[in-house]
A and B are shown apart, each in its own frame.
Chain A
Amino acid sequence: MSTIDWIVLGLTLAVIVVYGIYKSRGEKNIDGFLRANRELPWYHVGFSVMATQASAITFLSAPGQAYSDGIRFVQFYFGLPLAMVVLCITFIPMFRKLNVYTAYEYLENRFDIKTRSLTAFLFLLQRGVSTGITIYAPAIVLSTILGIDISITTLLMGGLVIMYTVYGGTRAVSYTQLLQMCIIFAGLFFAAYMVVHLLPEKVGFIDALHIAGKLGKLNAIDTTFDLNNRYNIWSGIIGGFFLQLSYFGTDQSQVGRYLTGSSVSQSRMGLVMNGLVKIPMQFFILMIGTLVFTFYQFNTPPLFFNKVEEQRIENSKYGDDYRNLKLEHEQSYVVRQDHLSQLVDAVDEENEEKVQVLKSELLKQESNSQKIRDDAKKLMLKNNSTADVNDTNFVFLGFVTSYLPVGLVGLLIAIIFLASMGSTASGLNSLASTVVVDIYKRIIRKDGTEKTYLDASRWATIGWGVFCIVVALYAGRLGNLIEAVNILGSLFYGTILGIFVVAFYLKRIRGNAVFYAALVAEAFIVLAWWFDLTAFLWLNVIGCMLVVMFSWLLEGTVFKDK
């Protein structure tokens, strides 16, 4: 990376930290620290909710995923707008009416202290580890791309977030997230423009889409119903609805965002904004990935995007085999140039017959290239069984650092840092809120002053910040934790959502029934995951339904007269 890029990166990060501290100066009470005194407008709520969900891996992974698997991932978000509507109707008015700081506070009001504590505990367990991974996942990619030690990128990202989150609490988190999202959007538009600009002269934006579409990358809607298929319209709408409802309705990192709205209407508008903007935003990011794919049809891509793993195999006893595969790979791209050029002409001439012939030829070549990549991955695993053969996260940044102009590279690297900082800040803030409000203030010290709880919140933020950095520093040694954390979320979200659904809609069910129902349902979910009965998205639906069913049964039988 050039000096100018380093300056752009450094300046962007410094501006965010200073802006966060400046905007949240003078925060003197617990309400200000944890809920920004409930005075933020809807666009703050909306951007904050979006920045919390969009971690760095969203911007790293999604284009890479579109590059290799097409844009079918967009279906994952189809349930989100529906979940936003339910949240606006049910969750927001209830949380506002009870004037809660955390979602779990409401559960004591509705059931009892043990149900509140169980839910808060499940949240802390899952959110604490996943916030660590939110730091780790981009840190490993950035350290590889920038060629610096992973502990430096981890400490830098974690340290900067702790600084402004400890100082300014929720207000600092919301203000920085607003600015972060603006920079992220601007950077992504520049990147999209540059990819189209870098295409060969005769290939325009529409031609690029035709090429990506003919090669199967614009597979946005898949209507086949298959419980084991992660991304189709049904798993997106039904499974996605339950996942998003649990995430936005019961995860304090999101609840804490819309509790900062100045009224019910402002909080609702923030979520409506998220419901309207999220899918187009995700579609746009995936489109950048498909444009990068088209760009690499004309410019031979690396056989493997993770340079560290590539160097490892090249320096091993399989180095010659790998270099042979590399040659084969490069030749396969030379061959297709002529076909691509003819395809663009045929599309322009609207010669459907010729388009179909060229399409099938190009698909054959693409499948051949895929086979060469698979062979390269097999070779890496043969050399080292723990090698990371998934290079999806490296595709976009690999393109950025190799082809984009000076200055923009620094800005796009900064975007990855910002995205990670945004979701980490919400995570830390919510962990501190839950520890202080649901445990410290409720169980350990009930008679503290404003200052006691404010200090406790700051110390809790520092404590969780250090915990998350430690998780991030050790995450690499613990195997594929990113996938594990996604599954961990689905293991608990369904049960937590079930508790809230019972609380909101089944008024006659009481604390004991829902508490034991949650324990039994959780055991079922863990077994379903252990025996690999279904794709993880469906665990959210099953978990929620089991809690509702069991608590209804228990209330009608075991706890009937109690």
Chain B
Amino acid sequence: MENEELSNKESGDNRKWKKIYFGVVAFLVLQIIFYYLFRKYFE
């Protein structure tokens, strides 16, 4: 029972971290798009 709880907690943690990593990469992509448009607009 305890093992099952631990494993559930671990997989919940993993899901949380996967979402955070996805967020970091998505933010990078958005920034690159922003800088590209920023350049185009003001150039």
Interchain CB contact under 8 A, B39 and A82: no
Whether B24 pairs with A276 at a CB distance below 8 angstroms is yes
- Is B31 within 8 A of A84, CB to CB? no
In the complex, how many residues of chain A place their beta carbon closer than 8 angstroms to a beta carbon of chain B?
27
Question: Is there a chain A Cβ closer than 8 Å to B25's Cβ?
Answer: yes
Say whether A218 faces chain B, with CB atoms less than 8 Å apart: yes
What distance in Å separates the Cβ of B17 from its nearest Cβ neighbour in chain A?
7
- Digitize B1-40: 1 where CB-to-A-CB distance is under 8 Å, 0 elsewhere: 0000000000001000100110011011001100110110
The smallest C-beta distance from A184 to any residue of chain B, in angstroms, reads 21
User: CB distance A85 to B24 under 8 Å?
Assistant: yes
Contact A78 B32 (CB under 8 A): yes
User: How far, in angstroms, from A85 to B24 measured CA to CA in the complex?
Assistant: 8
With A214-B43, A220-B36 in contact, is A82–B28 under 8 Å at CB? yes
Q: Is the interface of B mostly helix, strand, loop or mixed?
A: helix
Give residues of chain A (253-276) contacting chain B, Cβ–Cβ below 8 Å.
265, 268, 272, 275-276
Contact B35 A81 (CB under 8 A): no
Whole-angstrom distance between the Cβ of A160 and the nearest chain B Cβ: 35
List chain A residues, Cβ under 8 A from B43. 213-214, 216, 218
Assembled-state Cα–Cα distance A220/B32 (Å) = 9
**Chain B residues with CB below 8 A from A113, complex form:** none
Q: Give chain B residues whose Cβ lies under 8 Å from the Cβ of A74.
A: 35
Hey, what's the 0/1 contact readout for A267-310 against B, CB within 8 Å counting as 1?
01000100110011001000000000000000000000000000
B24 A81 Cβ-Cβ under 8 A: yes
Q: What's the least CB distance linking A379 to chain B, in Å? A: 33
Q: Count of chain B residues with Cβ under 8 Å from any Cβ of A?
A: 17
Report B-chain residues with C-beta under 8 Å of the C-beta of A233: 32
Q: Mark A79-94, 1 if CB is under 8 A from B, else 0.
A: 0011011001100000
| Other-chain contact of B20, A210, A214, A272, A283 (Cβ < 8 Å) | A272
**CB-nearest residue of chain B to A280:** B31
Query: Given A78-B32, A279-B28, A279-B31, are A85 and B21 neighbors across the interface (CB < 8 Å)?
Result: yes
A222 closest partner in B (C-beta) = B39
Least distance between B5 CB and chain A CB atoms (Å): 18
Q: Say yes or no: is A221 at the interface (Cβ < 8 Å to chain B).
A: yes
| Chain B, Cβ-Cβ closest to A84 | B24
Contacts of B36 in A (CB 8 A): 220-221
Nearest residue, chain A, Cβ from B33: A221
Q: How far is the CB of B18 from chain A (nearest CB, A)?
A: 10
- Known A-B contacts A81-B24, A81-B27; the reply to A283 vs B35 at CB < 8 A is yes
- Residues in A with CB closer than 8 Å to B21 are 85, 88-89
Give a binary string over A204-226; 1 marks a CB under 8 Å from any B CB, 0 the rest.
00000110111010111100000
CB proximity of A561 to chain B, nearest CB, Å? 39
**Contact between A276 and B32, CB atoms less than 8 A apart:** no
* Residue from the list B13, B17, B31, B39 in contact with A218, Cβ < 8 A: B39
What is the bound-complex CA distance between A440 and B40, given in angstroms?
Answer: 56
List the B side residues contacting A268 at CB < 8 Å.
17
A265 to B36 alpha-carbon distance, docked (Å): 34
Please name all residues of chain A whose beta carbon is closer than 8 Å to the beta carbon of B20 when the two chains form the complex.
272
Contact (A221, B28) CB under 8 Å given A85-B21, A89-B21, A272-B20: no
4 smallest beta-carbon distances between A and B, as pairs: A213-B42, A220-B35, A221-B36, A81-B28
Q: In the complex, given contacts A78-B28, A221-B35, A283-B35, what are 8 additional A-B residue pairs having Cβ atoms less than 8 angstroms apart?
A: A74-B35, A85-B21, A88-B21, A220-B36, A220-B38, A268-B17, A279-B28, A280-B31
Q: Can you list 18 A-B pairs, Cβ within 8 angstroms, ordered by A?
A: A78-B28, A81-B24, A81-B27, A82-B25, A85-B21, A85-B24, A212-B42, A216-B43, A218-B39, A220-B39, A221-B32, A221-B36, A233-B32, A265-B13, A275-B24, A275-B28, A276-B24, A283-B35
